[in-house]
Every structure is written in C-alpha cells, then in structure tokens.
Structure 1
Amino acid sequence: MAEEFNIPDFLDRDFADIMDEMTADMPEDIDMSEGNHPYNLIAPTARQEEYFTGFILAEALKRVFPKFCEGYPEYVDYHAEVNGLQRKAATFATGKLVATGQPETVIPAGTVFSTMSTGDIPSVAFVSVEDTEVGGSGSAEILIRAAEAGTIGNVAENTIILQDSPIDGVESLTNPQATSGGIDEETDASLIERIAAYEEMQGLSFVGNDTDYKRWAEEVNGTGVATVVPPVEDDNSGTITIVLTDTLGKPATEELCQQVYDYIVSPEDRDKRKAPVNGAKLSVIPPVVVNISVTAEIELAEDATLETVKTEFLKNAAAYMAVVPEDKEVKYTKIGAILSVTGGVQDYTAASLQVNGGTENIAIAVNEFPQILAENVTFTESA
C-alpha cells in the first residue's frame, strides 16, 4: 500500500481561512456577504490560492521524494539519475523458426513473420536476424527476434506460422518452441524500490560484499531477483555465486546470466568493472528448477471444463511460484487457496488435494526455483 503524503501545516489553508485573511483589513461597513460585488471580486482569487496551496504546491513537494513519484515516470527517472541509476529498458523476445521448402531458397535477414490474430488478440510480428538458406534436407532453422520489445513477444510454440510477404520456395514454417526473453520496461514501483535501496546504503560498503553484488546484478535490463549464495563449507575458491531470475520471476536465460556477468566483471573494459579488481571470482547461474505436481478432485461450476480450470490454475500458480523463493517453501495451504479462487471450481475437498504426492509444505533452497507445468497437474471431476 502506497505511503500517504502528509500536507505540511503551512499549506493547510482552505477557502474560508484565505477569505478571512483577505477581508481582515477592509472597512467594517463593506458588505462582504456572498453575492455582493466585494465578495465576487476576491472569491475567485481565494479559490485559486486554495487550489494552488492545497494541490499544486503539495504535488510539487511530493515530487521531491521518490516514494511519492509513482505515476510520474519522468520524475522517477530524475531521482534515479541523481543516484547513478537508470530504468531497465524493455528487452526483445527471441526464438527459432523451422521452415520447410525448396533447397537453396534464401530467407533474407529482416523477413517478417507473425502469429495469427484471434478475436481481440492482435498478431505479434517477428523479424529474422540473419540470412538463412534452406538446406538439402528441405528445412532451415531461422533465428528470429520480436519486432516489439516486451512480454508481448513471448508467444507459445507453433503459433508463428505466417509470412508478411510470402517467399517463393518456402512451403511451411512454425516455431517448435515458445519464444522467450521478452521483458517489459521497468515499472515506476520497481525503480523506486531500487532507488530507496541505493539511498539506504549510502555510507556503507561498495567494495564487493553480498549486497553490492545483488545490487549490481539487479541493475541489468531484464533481471528480477538476484540472490548471492554463500560458498559451501571448505570451498576456498573465492567464487561469488549469483542465482538469478528474470523480471517475470522465471529462471534467467543463459544470455541474461552472461549479461549480468559482463556488467559486473566487464572483461572487455576494466574501467567499467564493478567487482573488486583482485579477489573474488564470479558465477551467475539460473536457479535449479524444482517441478511441483498437483492432483485434485474438484467439483466443476456450470459450463466449466477441466481444461479451462487447469489453464487458469496454471496462470495463477505461476504468479505464486515467482515469490516462493522469498518464502523458501511452497505452502500446501497456498496451493489450496489458489485452487479455491480459480474460475470454474465450485468446490474441492482438502482430502483430495495433493502437492508432490502429499499435504506438507515443500522446502525450496536458495538456489532453487519451483514451477508447475501443465503435464504435472492432474484434475479429475468429483462424482
């Protein structure tokens, strides 16, 4: 919940107070009652002063403090700049297409492909990043990047099937795997949180402690939560390990891990290096994925199906999985709560719900990330 801004006493002036001040020195025989000319002449000025002090100046004062700037991105950016920070830019989703066609057919860089538009959902465009030739086997693997940065470019497998301008010799195409890596621009709330964390650390160590590595990692575009893992007992290698998720709360890609490593170590330009010049080595890795299975017997609401319930449950559960590493466990009761508010679920019995085959909470280590896949969810309809 956003913190409330308390208006200073010197700005707490209403219309009546201002009118009293403006009429205090007027002759007593002047009729200042509402509707008369003297009142009508000064009342608009009093109204404007009330608005200026109670709103305009109050809003100007709020912009001085980062925590009150949400919704005013330009001011959040100003505060970030003062602290040597900047908003994380949106990133482009990438993936691969498999095209079939006549051997030696060339698919030029910059060729546009897209998903189909369905209902209110518009098509999503992708661009090939390099020239590709259909091989002798009659197929080619095309590297693609979303035309627009952000999560809009993360589309499911086998959905990119259209060519903007058909190429002679290309007979069919699709993406065998979902595209990934598309992250939206950092929100005001996220940047404000980083500004606050940075300001709290003023005067503290900036020489490479755990907090420094965490802050450096989370400054890179697309990063979510960076966790610095302490070395295991008897590990004398001096290696600092960062376990990284992306902004969506999913395990970071190999590319994102490399970007964080390069940002902190700066192997190509030592002047930009964040980590101490001598000492610790750095390893940036995604968390180990822990697959969570869920089985339940549910009573369906009217017009609901097991498939639609499963789809919504997976969406809601994914949001919970993103925050589990902070709690360090998957809570059985939380899974039950998610199921109970899933659309199409009329009821279920606690005795019929199992998470990983039981009813106990599941511990999640600091280097682990839980996920619930569709194939690991089994819903049956109660009799």
Structure 2
Amino acid sequence: MFEDQTFDEIMERMLDRVPADIDKRENSVIWNALAPAAAELAQSYIWLDTVLELVFADTAQGEFLDRRAAEAGLERQPATKAIRAGIFTKGVRLPVGSRFFVDNLYFQFTKGGNLECETAGEAGNANLDGRSLLSLDTIPGLESAVMGKLLVPGKEEETDEELYARYSVRVRREAVSANKQHYKQWAEEVDGVGRAKIFPLWDGDGTVKIVITNAKMEPASDTLVDKVKDYIDPDPGKGEGQAPIGATVTVESAVYKKVNIDVTVVPEPDYKIEDVQKEIEEKIQSFFKEIAFTESIVRLSKINNIVFNADSVSDYSDVKINGDTKNLELKDEEIPKLGTVTILEQD
C-alpha cells in the first residue's frame, strides 16, 4: 500500500516545498537537513505496511494470528506428547508416574498403562521399538523394561498455515450443527490425529463413520481410535460427547494401500543409482503423506513429475505404478504406502 513512499519520493516532495532560490542539490545544507527526516519517514511507511499485514488473518503471523483466531474462539493447538507401549517384567505393578530414560528422552508411566514422553512434539516418535529402558525409580521386582510400539504420535505446535486453515473454516461457518465438516473438525482436534474422513449415514439413519490417520499420516492405533470415539461419542447416541443426541459414531483407522513404483533412469553425472533410489523414495513418501485423505487417486503424472524434477536424474522412461502405466485409484478408507521402488539404469 505504501510501496511508493520511498526515500527519494519523500525527499522530492520535501524539497519541492523549499524556495527555488535556495541551493537544494544533494549534499547541500538544506538537503542534508531534510535527509534524516525523509529516511525516518520512509522507514515508518515500511512499518505501516507490516502492521497492515499483521491486522488481516491471511497475512498475520505468530501472536498476531493467535489474536485474530481468538476472536473466532480458536486457540493454537500446542505441541502434544507421544504415547508408547511398554513391556515390563510380568506381574510387576508400576506406580503411576514412574520415570524411564532412553536415547536422551524421558518417559512417564501413565494410569492407562502406557508411557508418555515428557518432551512434547515429534521427538518421542523416534524409532525406539525394542530399546531397553533405564528406570529412574526403584521398583521392586522390575528386571526388564523395554520400549514398545508408538501408540499415539507426538505432534509439533500448530503452524500458522494450519491455524489459518481452521480459522477460515470457523469464520466461514463451514463446520456447524454437526454437519460433515463439523465431525471432521472434532476428530482432528484430538491429540495425535492427522486427518479424518467422514462417511455420513454409512449404516443407516443417524450413523456416522469416521476414518482417521495418526499425526504421521499413518494408520491409527487402537488407542488413538478409542480416544477419538470417547471424545465424539463415548456413549452411542446419548449426546455425551461432541456428537448430538441420536447420532451413533463409529471410528476406524485408515488402511494402507501398497504402491510399488518402477522406473528406468539415466543418472546425472557424479550420481549413482543408489542416490537416485534414495531421492525418489524420499520424495514419493512425502508426496503420499500430502495426498493422504485429500486425494483418492495416485496419479501417474505426479510420479512422473517427481522423477523428472529429481536432482539425481538426467533422463527417465517407463514409469509404472503397481506394474501398470495408469493411475491407481484408492478406496475410501485407503491411504497410499510406498512399497518397493525399482530403479533400472538405462543402457
């Protein structure tokens, strides 16, 4: 809005107000007297532009976006803690709050019988399965403590983009009166949930099915499925949770659809076929997370683009998905999972 209010523009206007019989050339007395004020005014216009951007939700950032969201009754979702299973000496009762240590992370034993990471965020999602735990408390009879599988992934604090997306849904009143979008919102509010897909009237009047992924865009554990069910409809049809009276909610986990990729490539100079394999696998895995429950087709054109834009690939041909040169359709409850990536080097 104030991009034309530059130092030169302000100086020109100021000098125009000075009588013509006074020396106004650069580095003259009057020019040097006006220059500091013009510089400060130019900086002020820059700040005004910034302030205006912080006023509107689509350009606001950080605490200023928090304040706009608060006007609509929303708060930024904080980082959540990972919850994992633990395997302990059989028959030993662990006191709630018992602490364990592994790989620079501390975990507490909860009354639910699981281990909660003390560090919020994705740190507790690390591959710790089968690792021995060091008990920080004296627990009679405890001879073995081993980390189990990840039940509920930890999640970092909500980003500006994620908060703005929720804000937009709220102010546009897209999620109201227990409509389809409202159920999606409720499910995704639960700690550890990534995305949710809603199936109204899936088993008759008053029935709603919710299929969820975890925060890593993977199938959800039974623990996470139960958390969502308890939050939305703990006592079917009674209106004890978020769902209204008369609505019976079923919550299920997404299921994987294995996707194998074949491609023939010419590597760039100084790149080996192993480098091509690693780069393409990483980019396809990221792509699959992006489209989980947002698209129902794995498009061949998207895979072609990934290979084409790979830094390690000079040329390529014969891209196939599950052995075929066409798009792969996903069922309603499926999310793609990368299976094998077969990279052949072109002769």
Same fold (TM over 0.5): yes
1:364 & 1:180 partners in 2: Cα distance? 25
CA contact (8 A) 1:298 1:379 kept: no
Contact 1:325 1:365 in 2 (8 A): no
Task: Pick closer, same or farther for the CA change 1:100–1:315 going to 2, 3 Å.
Answer: farther
User: 1:185 and 2:157 equivalent?
Assistant: yes
- The alignment partner of 1:327 has SS state of coil
CA contact under 8 A between 1:297 and 1:348: conserved in structure 2? yes
Rounded Cα–Cα distance in structure 2 between residues aligned with 1:345 and 1:97: 44
Residue 126 of structure 1: aligned partner: 106
Deviations along 1:161-182, one digit per CA (max 9) or x if unpaired, are 3637697987765435456511
Task: State the match for 1:149 in structure 2.
Answer: 120
Match of 1:65 in 2: 56
* 1:318 is the counterpart of 2:297: no
**Contact preservation (8 Å) 2:199, 2:208:** yes
1:251-289 deviations in whole A, cap 9, x for unaligned?
Answer: 33434444444444576xx9995443x333222322233
Deviation at 1:81, TM superposition (A): 0.7
Equivalent position of 2:340 in the other structure: 377
Residue type of the alignment partner of 1:210: K
Offset of residue 64 of structure 1: 1.2
CA distance in 2, matches of 1:179, 1:255: 6
Q: Is the 8 A contact 1:126 1:147 kept in 2?
A: yes
Q: What RMSD in Å do the two structures reach over aligned CA positions?
A: 3.9
Q: Which residue of 2 aligns with 1:196?
A: 168
Superposition map of 1:12-91 within 5 A: 12-53=4-45, 55-69=46-60, 72-91=61-80
Displacement of 1:215 after TM fit? 3.0
Secondary structure (helix, strand or coil) at the match of 1:43 reads helix
Deviation at 1:333, TM superposition (A): 4.2
Q: CA deviation at 1:157?
A: 4.6
Q: What is the Cα deviation at residue 187 of structure 1? A: 0.7
Distance change >3 Å, CA 99–CA 224, structure 1 → 2: closer
Report the TM-score, using the length of structure 1 for normalisation.
0.73
How far residue 344 of structure 1 moved from its aligned partner, in angstroms, is: 6.6
Gaps of 5+ in 2: none
Q: Over residues 101-140 of structure 1, what are the superposed CA-to-partner deviations in whole Å (9 max), with x where a residue is unaligned?
A: 9x9697884333212xxxxxxx4x1314159xxxxxxxxx
CA apart distance, 1:143: 3.4
2:83 aligns to what? 94
Question: 2: CA distance between counterparts of 1:15 and 1:378?
Answer: 57
Measured after TM superposition, the shift of residue 43 of structure 1 is 1.4
Question: Which of 67, 82, 98 is the aligned partner of 1:110?
Answer: 98
Corresponding position of 1:139: none
Specify every segment of 5 or more residues in structure 1 that has no aligned partner in the other structure, as ranges. 1-6, 116-122, 132-141
Quick check: 2:175–2:185 contact (8 Å CA) kept in 1?
no
Deviation string, structure 1 residues 293-343 (Cα, Å, up to 9, x no partner): 34567777868575x765554433322222153231122343455456667
Instruction: Note if contact 1:309-1:345 (Cα within 8 Å) is conserved in structure 2.
Output: yes
Residues 172-321 of structure 1: pairs in structure 2 closer than 5 A: 174-175=146-147, 177-178=149-150, 180-201=152-173, 206-232=176-202, 235-265=203-233, 274-276=242-244, 278-294=245-261, 304=272, 312-321=279-288
CA contact (8 A) 1:157 1:179 kept: no
CA distance in 2, matches of 1:344, 1:205: 44
Please identify, of 34-43 and 103-112, the stretch whose mean Cα deviation from structure 2 is larger: 103-112
* Aligned AA (2:340): V
Q: How far off is 1:75 after superposition?
A: 0.9
3-state DSSP class of the match of 1:334?
Answer: helix
CA gap 1:211/1:364 in 2 versus in 1, 3 angstroms: same
Cα distance in 2 between the residues matched to 1:380 and 1:12: 54
Q: State the secondary structure of the residue aligned to 2:44.
A: helix
- Alpha-carbon separation, structure 2, partners of 1:130 and 1:41: 70
Return closer, same or farther for 1:95/1:329 CA change in 2, 3 Å cut-off.
same
